[in-house]
Structure 1
Amino acid sequence: MIELDVTTDRGIAVVVPRGRLNMVAARQLRQVLADIITGGTSRIVVDLAETTFLDSSGLGALIGGLKSARQAGGDLRIARPTPEVMTVFTLTNMDKVLRPRDDVGSAFDV
């Protein structure tokens, strides 16, 4: 099971998945992202510094969140991916779509 922490500051929600972002956890992440957007926050940073594993379901949840955030007028950014997670992004070319940021605080800086 994954632990998902959510904080909101200055109109930006930060989601921190801790553990394995796999098929089971992806459902949880999809719901958390949907709840954030439904609650009126469409700028989201997913901090992946404590995510130890990412499979296609987890990647799908992130892409779904990106699409929903953009439809709501915002965006979803990722920050601090672990080497294991970055490997998945690179192999799938999703690092071009979900361009990783070095830190959470500057994820929405220009």
Structure 2
Amino acid sequence: MSEDTRTAVLTPTGRLNMVAAPALKSLIEESVADGRDRVVVDFSEVVFIDSSGLGALIAGLKCTRQSGGDLRIANVPEQVVAVLRLTNLDRVLRAHPTVAAASHEW
């Protein structure tokens, strides 16, 4: 499988909260099940994230890594960066400036 077919770019919109988080988690799991275990979550359309959204990202990270891939985040707004820093998740989910930067060298 080539690198391009192993990579999925997911772009959630609006608020990544307890309403939207399960759908993101499912999309990540479906991507991995389809053989796309390198997932980039593009946050360019996200305005808010809460603990449910963080949980979906961590579950997605675990899912991708168990399949030999990875989960990366890109175009992360300052509100999301602040939440990642407050929870120390910025150490696990490093924010990349663009989708291309996040998927570089896979």
Gaps of 5+ in 2: none
How far, CA to CA, are the matches of 1:99 and 1:38 in structure 2?
24
How far, CA to CA, are the matches of 1:94 and 1:102 in structure 2?
17
- 1:8-66 CA-partner distances (Å, limit 9, x unpaired): x8121000011000001011111111111111110000011110000000000000000
Q: CA deviation at 1:109?
A: 2.2
In proportion to residue count, which structure has more helix? Answer: 2
**Residue in structure 2 matched with residue 10 of structure 1 by the alignment:** 4
Find the residue that maps to 1:73 and give its secondary structure. coil
**Residue in structure 2 matched with residue 86 of structure 1 by the alignment:** 81
Structure 2 residue 58 is the aligned partner of structure 1 residue 69: no
Task: Show the 5 A alignment for 1:1-110.
Answer: 10-11=4-5, 12-110=7-105
What is the TM-score normalised by the length of structure 2? 0.92
How far, CA to CA, are the matches of 2:53 and 2:101 in structure 1?
23
Give RMSD over aligned pairs.
Answer: 1.2
In proportion to residue count, which structure has more strand? Answer: 1
Gaps of 5+ in 1: 1-8
How far, CA to CA, are the matches of 1:88 and 1:106 in structure 2?
21
Q: CA deviation at 1:74?
A: 0.3
Find the residue that maps to 1:53 and give its secondary structure. strand
How far, CA to CA, are the matches of 2:40 and 2:34 in structure 1?
15
What is the TM-score normalised by the length of structure 1? 0.89
The percent identity for this pair of structures is: 50
Q: CA deviation at 1:106?
A: 1.7
Which structure has more RCO (C-alpha within 8 Å, separation ≥ 6)?
2
